[in-house]
Each structure stands twice: as C-alpha cells, then as structure tokens.
Structure 1
Amino acid sequence: MKTNRLEPFEAAKEFISLHFPNCQGAVLAGSVVRGEATHTSDLDIVVFSKDLISAYRESLIVGGWPIEVFAHNFSSYKNYFESDCKRAKPSLPKMVAEGLLLVDSGIMESIQSEARQLLANGPEQWSSDTITMKQYFITDALDDFIGSTKRDEEIFIAGSLATLTSEFVLRTNGKWIGESKWIVRALRNYDDKFAERFVEAFDLYYKTGDKHKVINIVENILEHYGGRLFDGFSLGK
C-alpha cells in the first residue's frame, strides 16, 4: 500500500462529506472490503441520492486514494441491478451486498437485502437453444486452437477459448460469470478443484505451448452435452 494516505474507510467518509454531503445512503465496496487490496487498488463507493437526475460513474482521488464512484438515485440502481443480472455479471448488486455502510438514512437495509436476494437467486437459466449455440462456438474455437500452427494467433485463440468455456461451465451450472480477474474468481466460487485444473491447463499452454490439457478439459466439458457440435448447426435459418 502507498504511504501518506488515509485508511480506506476514512478516505471514503471524507469523499462522501466533500462530494455527497446530502446523500441518503452510501457503501464502500471492492477489494479493500474483501481484504484483497493491492498497491494499485482503488476504492469503490456506491452512492444513493434522491437529488440525482440520472446515474453516473466518476473517478477521483481523495485522501491519496483513487476512487471509483457509482452514483444512483432510487430508481436508477434498480435498472442497473436488472441489466447486470441479465448479463449474468452482477457487478452493482455485488458491490451493494458486500458494502460497508458509510451513510444510511434508513434506506440501506432494504437495498442491500434486495441485492443479496438477487445474488442468491443466480442468473437466468440458459435455454437449450442457447446452450447449443454456445456449444457450437466453443467447438469452432477449439478447432481453430488445435489446427493453428502460428503461435501469435494461438495466444489469442486460447484466450477466447478460455472465456467461452468458463462462461459455458458457469452458466450451465446456474452460476454468475465474470470478466478479467473475475473469471477465475467465479470459477473458484463454483468449484475450486475444477478452477485449479482449468488454470493449470491454460498455464501449461502459455508457458510451454503444450495444448493437450486445454484440449482435454474443453472436450470433457462438451462431452456432457454430446461432444463437439458442427454438423447440422443452424442459426437464423
């Protein structure tokens, strides 16, 4: 952590007093709350104010901390809750549910309960047509990965394959997904042993160029749904 800066909670309180002194609710969320902060971490603050015309996001520095503020009125947050859950990436619900109270005029218990219930419900179940479509796209990426002889192209095919496959595993098991570092975190929340094998397979490829573990783990995932899919697949016919 950098020196000569306030403690996270104090910096967050100072931010609220400077920028949202009349808000009705606010929480501090993110890595500092989860005990996962690094020297590059920022503070995620969600603010609720009846005076805001619309939602917005802003980045500032207060008390030596970079701060990401997510500002909402009493209706805008519901729209974001809904859109996040439709994407199966519940960023705002997660921040609100895990957040430490900075300000509460009596509204936060219901809003946090709403967020926690959405997280507990999980994402909408995929239809059989969606599963088939995703199965086809994974097959296509896997074939490209197996057939490629160009290392520069393989690197990016592998990244796409990892994203598609992790999404498939999580969504077919009724779990939330993520992006960037949240992919592996979501996999660990689903099944720590599977996540370890998944990371190990791609790590081996990136370090050595050995594809066999990636191929095996992807094929095993597809096998539960009948294996690779190409012949007969149709979209929009």
Structure 2
Amino acid sequence: MQVNQNQRLSSKQAAKKIVDKYFPDCEGAILAGSVVRGQESATSDLDIVVFDQKIPDSYRESFVEFGWPVELFCHNLESYQTFFKSDCERARPSLPRMISEGIVLKDNGILDGIKQESETLLHAGPEKWDTATIKLKQYFLTDVLDDFIGTSNRSEAIFIAGTLAELAAEFTLRTNNRWIGSSKWVIRSLVEYDENFAEAFTQAFDLFYSKNDKSKVIHIVKSILEPYGGRLFDGFSLGKDQ
C-alpha cells in the first residue's frame, strides 16, 4: 500500500488521534506491532487494540488515516477472552503479544489487569504436546522430509521445502514448549527460542533455495527428529481399531 510518508504524523500521534476520533469514550487503547518493537518499515501499519464496553462484539477493521494504514482490533471488556483462548489453543498468541508489548494510548484503569493476563499467558507457554501428538507430527514431518529427499523436480522441491520449514519449525518450538507463528513470526519465534539454531535453520534453507543444495536442510530436520527416535514410518498407525 502506498501512503504519503512525508506528510504523516508520528505513529503515536496518529494512533492517539484515531482513538480520540473514533473511540472518544473507550475504556482503553494500545498501540502495538512493529512501530513499538523498533522494527518499523516503509510498509508498517498501526496496530491499535481498543477496549470499549459499548462494542457488542469483537471486530477487526482496516483503513488509512493521517497518512498511515491502520488495523483496528476492537473488543469489549469480555470478548477479548475468547481470542486469548483461541490464540492459546493454536499456540499463536497474537492478541496477548500485542497487548503485552503495546504502548498505552488511553487507560481508564482497565489495562493493568489485561496486560497482566497477557503476560501470564505468554510466560506460561502453550499447552504441551502429548506423546500421541508428537508421534503424529513426527510422522508427517518425516513424510515431507522423504518427499524433499526423493524429488528431483526443482519446482516441486521449492514448494516442499516451504512446507518442510514450517513443519520443522513447529515441531522444534512446540516440543520445547514455545509459541509458534506464521509468516515472519516463524523466524521471530525461532530467534526467541534459540538465536544460534534460528541462524543455522535459515542458512540451511537459504543454501537450498540459492544453490539447490539439500544437504543442510536434510541434516537439520534429521537432528530435530533425533531426540524422538528419528524419522517415523514403520509401525505408525492412525485411526485403526485396536
């Protein structure tokens, strides 16, 4: 999205004006995202979380205002709990992370408690995988790894590698009781877990994409599986009556 960056307000000034304009009576508002993490780019938007008891249910809205692309995440004082629960179940804590890291734009005394809820959830980590889930994920990761090793079709390998990277990252993070993410949050989550591992992981896939060399990808995925017995195929069963 193209916006006029020369004429726009600062991120915090614009966010405050948006809250004042559209939610003058809200109980609380937070500015989150890349602009508060020091990761702002030319395409960054304003992620604003609003708490307004008059809102009947949660909703999300995008628009451009004061020279900024804006994403609003609007909740009343109860509805955000549904998103906390959903985020924890899928191990992708989008809303708790935004609230925890965000800058307060407005607070009528409700944000300390909500921020504490967010931080408690983030610190606890996602629910641990049980043995059956680990075996299931191990099997599917093995299946994609075998496809990657076996294919001689470069076009197929490119897309297999993308799936392999996501499954391998998920397996690593979840078996270590860490949150996962999608898109850019895959690597951010790996860096939060272990910077050295994240660097090796990135280099392995970069080597494949740039030079068609599979060796480091194969090595790192095998090493991820090794503590759980390595690649899993023989004897795996799903849905069979005992």
TM-score range (shorter-chain normalised) is over 0.9
| 1:115-153 Cα distance to aligned partner (Å, 9 max, x none) | 011000000000000000000000000000001111111
| Among 187, 195, 203, the residue aligned to 1:184 | 187
Write the distance in 2 (CA, Å) between the matches of 1:204 and 1:164: 18
C-alpha contact 1:14 1:62 (8 A) present in aligned 2: no
Write the distance in 1 (CA, Å) between the matches of 2:130 and 2:194: 23
| 1:173-212 Cα distance to aligned partner (Å, 9 max, x none) | 0100001000000000000000000000000000010000
Q: Secondary structure at the match of 2:104?
A: strand
Q: CA deviation at 1:2?
A: 2.0
Match of 2:90 in 1: 87
User: What amino acid is the match of 1:30?
Assistant: G
User: What amino acid is the match of 2:177?
Assistant: G
| 1:12-52 Cα distance to aligned partner (Å, 9 max, x none) | 01111111111100000000000100000001000001001
1:40 matched to 2:58? The reply is no
Structure 1 moving runs of 4+ over 6 Å: none
RMSD: 0.8
Percent of residue pairs bearing the same amino acid type: 58
Match of 1:99 in 2: 102
User: What aligned pairs does 1:1-237 form with structure 2 within 5 A after superposition?
Assistant: 2-237=5-240
Q: CA deviation at 1:70?
A: 0.2
| 1:204-235 Cα distance to aligned partner (Å, 9 max, x none) | 00001000000000011111100100011111
**Number of aligned residues:** 237
User: What amino acid is the match of 2:170?
Assistant: E
Unmatched 5+ stretches in structure 1: none
C-alpha contact 1:22 1:49 (8 A) present in aligned 2: yes
Write the distance in 2 (CA, Å) between the matches of 1:115 and 1:209: 42
Q: Secondary structure at the match of 2:197?
A: helix
Unmatched 5+ stretches in structure 2: none
Write the distance in 1 (CA, Å) between the matches of 2:210 and 2:141: 22
Write the distance in 2 (CA, Å) between the matches of 1:176 and 1:3: 37
